[in-house]
Amino acid sequence: MVALLMFGLAAAAQAHERHKHKHTHIVAVASQTLAPGDAGERRWLAGDHHVHSQYSVGYEPDPADPEALPEPVVGGDGRYPIPRNAEMARRFGLTWMVSTDHGGPNHSRVNAEQAYPELLQARGAVPDLILFYGMEFDTPGADHSSLIVPRDDTERDTLLAIESRYAKRETWPADPAWDTEPRMLEALRYMDGLASRPVVIANHPSRSATDLGVYDQTDPAELRDWHDTAPRVAVGMEGAPGHQADALNADGSIDPEGIRGIYRRSPTMGGFDQMTARLGGFWDSMLGEGRRWWVTATSDSHRHYSEGGDDFWPGEYSKTYVQARAEAADILDGLREGRIFVTTGDLVSELDVTVQAGDQTATIGGAVEKASDTPVAVTIRVRDPEGANAAGKSSEVTRIDLILGDVTGPTTDRDEDTHISARVERRFTADDWTRDGEILTMTHTLTDLATSSYLRVRGTNGTEVEPTPDPPGEDPWSDLWFYGNPVFVTVR
């Protein structure tokens, strides 16, 4: 293990030296610099909770003894040292990031003995990035999930305990008993009982789906079980998965066979997973139950497309904005409470949805209560930033949709993935909003909302009435969307 640690540190130094002189297709995105100690007031802080480093290892079997524990190979899957990821995250405007390496046999020791010391180095090297420790959890009975550990003195031991006990690929030889949904529920109960309670977000939930509504590794009933078991731990899913640069060649030209998100069996829709993008689909069915189930967007960065990979750097294309003070605990609270909106291509950089009913007011992630005859006033405020994004393109918002759905309570069908009451209440275009510099403001009043409901907002730079399946070879920069998490309205 000591030899492996020395190899990892040497590889990190060599990779860093190579990249100091590497010219890639990178345009820095201006952002406000916020040091971790500069908490201030809550504001929209961009981040990424799904980023791989060189400690997403490969494995080399022993040719003399195939039954022996295979040796982890640093850089075998993920490419970059953690400080490099942190450096690029800040370059592309992120205030926070989670380092999330997936596992394999005995990987808990790789995380604890190699990745964690390098994460501490990254915190020192990029002090104005709030860097969380976590992993892409090898989820029992499902696909992967982001596991985000609270930033405190116990973080290393917390992750070591979770991964060594519950990650389905941790054992050697592989044990099928570790790869079951009941084991995941056991893991969630364990996490929910910790003093430093983590956050779990399902990654690329429909990447294994074979068609619309035909799921495979992760299904609606499973996600409902997670949320029922530990609603303060299992809080949501990736709305926009990573690997969005699969259709880009190394020189930035289009690969006609590339697939956004590497969703090769059932494509993304506007770059978003079908569980999020389909109006009246799975996400709406969860919100229709009144569940606080949030969506995020990530890079899933392993290797940049300019070096032959499928990925953008953290923050280069997708951003998850959390309304929080610039401190780790409040960012994690924002993820848990749903003070989140997501965007691709820097289409927007602020999204405020204010819902007022009588003397009650709520914003994204919140709730109001009202009498049946009390009108509901909705104000949407968006910052449509001027200037070019990381692709050197300036994209403008062309339409914003206010979506409304009834809250009808728990469903009897655990596999439910439709919600027929979900509808676009109003579509706003430039004729419907006022512009003050970068700020777009629009309003709408619901005069007869007599049923408990939720409201959410999405927007695009395109003309599609609804996001359609993304074809092979689509330029990800041409089809941009943003999504806000909901506000709930309870009618008494």
* Domain housing 259: 2-349
What integer is the mean pLDDT of 420-440? 98
Task: State how far the Cα of 94 lies from the Cα of 31, in Å rounded to an integer.
Answer: 8
Task: State how far the Cα of 466 lies from the Cα of 218, in Å rounded to an integer.
Answer: 24
The CATH number for 36's domain is 3.20.20.140
What integer is the mean pLDDT of 308-333? 98
With 60 as the cut, is the pLDDT of residue 88 above it? yes
Per-residue confidence (pLDDT) for residue 35, from 0 to 100: 52
Domain assignment present for residue 444? The answer is: no
Domain assignment present for residue 285? The answer is: yes
What integer is the mean pLDDT of 332-336? 98
Domain assignment present for residue 264? The answer is: yes
- Residue with the larger pLDDT of the pair 8 and 457: 457
- The structure tokens listed for 328 are 């780790």
Estimate to the nearest angstrom the gap between the alpha carbon of 296 and the chain centroid: 4
Domain assignment present for residue 308? The answer is: yes
User: What mean pLDDT, rounded, does the chain reach?
Assistant: 93
Per-residue confidence (pLDDT) for residue 211, from 0 to 100: 97
Confidence band, pLDDT 50/70/90 cuts, at residue 186: very high
Return the closest-CA partner of residue 57 out of 2, 5, 120: 5
With 80 as the cut, is the pLDDT of residue 401 above it? yes
CA distances from 44 to 5, 31, 189, 341 (A): 38, 11, 31, 9
Contact (Cβ atoms closer than 8 angstroms) between residue 405 and residue 283 = no
With 70 as the cut, is the pLDDT of residue 4 above it? no
Contact (Cβ atoms closer than 8 angstroms) between residue 345 and residue 459 = no
Domain assignment present for residue 84? The answer is: yes
Per-residue confidence (pLDDT) for residue 38, from 0 to 100: 63
Q: What is the DSSP string of 449-476?
A: --S-EEEEEEEESS--SS--BPPTT--G
Domain assignment present for residue 356? The answer is: no
Confidence band, pLDDT 50/70/90 cuts, at residue 15: very low
- Cβ density class 311-338: b for 16+ within 10 Å, e for less: bbbbbbbbbbbbbbbbbbebbbbbbbbb
**Structure pTM?**
0.92
Contact (Cβ atoms closer than 8 angstroms) between residue 138 and residue 169 = yes
Per-residue confidence (pLDDT) for residue 40, from 0 to 100: 78
Q: Residues in the chain, how many?
A: 492
CA distances from 192 to 161, 180, 270 (A): 13, 19, 34
Per-residue confidence (pLDDT) for residue 242, from 0 to 100: 98
**In sequence order, which residues have a C-beta less than 8 Å from that of residue 96 and are 6 or more positions away?**
45, 46, 47, 48, 129, 130, 131, 132, 322, 328, 331
Return the closest-CA partner of residue 262 out of 144, 394, 109: 144
CA distances from 418 to 275, 279, 404 (A): 10, 9, 14
Residue 44 three-state SS:
strand
Are β-strands 96-100 and 367-370 bridged in parallel, bridged antiparallel, or unpaired? unpaired
With 60 as the cut, is the pLDDT of residue 52 above it? yes
- The structure tokens listed for 356 are 């007022």
Confidence band, pLDDT 50/70/90 cuts, at residue 37: low
Domain assignment present for residue 269? The answer is: yes
Domain assignment present for residue 132? The answer is: yes
Count other Cβ atoms within 10 Å, centred on residue 217. Answer: 16
Per-residue confidence (pLDDT) for residue 214, from 0 to 100: 98
Are β-strands 481-484 and 340-344 bridged in parallel, bridged antiparallel, or unpaired? antiparallel
Q: What pLDDT digit, counting tens, does each position of 238-295 carry?
A: 999 999 999 999 999 999 999 999 999 999 999 999 999 999 999 999 999 999 999 9
Estimate to the nearest angstrom the gap between the alpha carbon of 299 and the chain centroid: 8
- The structure tokens listed for 465 are 């009435």
CA distances from 323 to 163, 473, 482 (A): 29, 34, 15
Per-residue confidence (pLDDT) for residue 39, from 0 to 100: 64
Number of domains in the chain: 1
**In sequence order, which residues have a C-beta less than 8 Å from that of residue 210 and are 6 or more positions away?**
216, 265, 266
Per-residue confidence (pLDDT) for residue 483, from 0 to 100: 99
- Any bridge partners for residue 400, and if so which? 428, 459
Contact (Cβ atoms closer than 8 angstroms) between residue 103 and residue 86 = no
Handedness of CA 74, 240, 168, 198 (dihedral sign): positive
With 80 as the cut, is the pLDDT of residue 360 above it? yes
Confidence band, pLDDT 50/70/90 cuts, at residue 14: very low
Which residue is listed with tokens 């116990």? 154
